[in-house]
Amino acid sequence: MHSDSLAWLCVLLFADGATLGLFTTPLLLRYGHLHSPLAVALLGGAASALGSALQLLALRWLVRDARPWMRRIAPSRDRVEAALARYPSASFLALVIARATPLPDAPLKLVAAALEYPVWRYGIAVFLGSLPYYFALAYVGKLIAIPTWMILAGVAVIVLAFVVDRLRRRGDAA
């Protein structure tokens, strides 16, 4: 599988959707330059939705599981309750809209996991919501040839910001 192929993009977006979702934007910008924005949106959206559905299953298991060794990994009950208070319903439309924006959808994903929202419905909402967002980013990537080094630098900044945020939160909790 060639690293510039749509199949490779789908593998990467599936993995990104199943994990932290930090690399979606740079991937769409890069592959949008190489392929049709419509193909990137449709195939990438489907792969990302499948990864997100897998992540939802894992989150459901983590939220439901009360074993002591899981407490470090699973969201705390307080966080789940706070998310439930902030987002009382994880409706289909809310999930579609959340996915159609660059804003993090983690709070809704957490609520969907806690409420045991149907995985197939969640996957469809993620797919539909990702279409306009993925198309827009791929189109920008098509119009502006962003150098690979700049995309990699952006990824490094994202990873660094994520690590700094996690360390800061850990320090605040101590």
Residue 76: DSSP 8-state: P
Which residue from 155, 140, 156 is spatially nearest to 28, judged by alpha carbons?
140
- Calculate the dihedral angle through the C-alpha atoms of 173, 78, 93, 105, rounding to the nearest 10 degrees: 20
Per-domain residue ranges for the chain? 6-147
- One-letter amino acid for residue 108 of the chain: L
Would you say the C-alpha torsion 5, 162, 128, 110 has a positive or negative sign? positive
**What does the pLDDT read at residue 162?**
79
Of residues 85 and 139, more confidently modeled: 139
User: What is the band of 174 on the pLDDT scale with cuts at 50, 70, 90?
Assistant: low
Enumerate residues 6+ apart whose C-beta is below 8 A from 33: 141, 142, 145, 146
Q: Is the pLDDT of residue 73 over 60?
A: no
Name the most confidently modeled range: 78-92, 120-134, 158-172: 120-134
Q: What is the rounded average pLDDT of the residues 2-6?
A: 85
Is residue 2's pLDDT more than 80? no
- pLDDT per residue as tens digits for the range 32-56: 999 999 999 999 999 999 999 999 9
Mean pLDDT along residues 86-113 = 80
The per-residue pLDDT for 173 is 66
Confidence of residue 62 (pLDDT cuts 50, 70, 90): confident
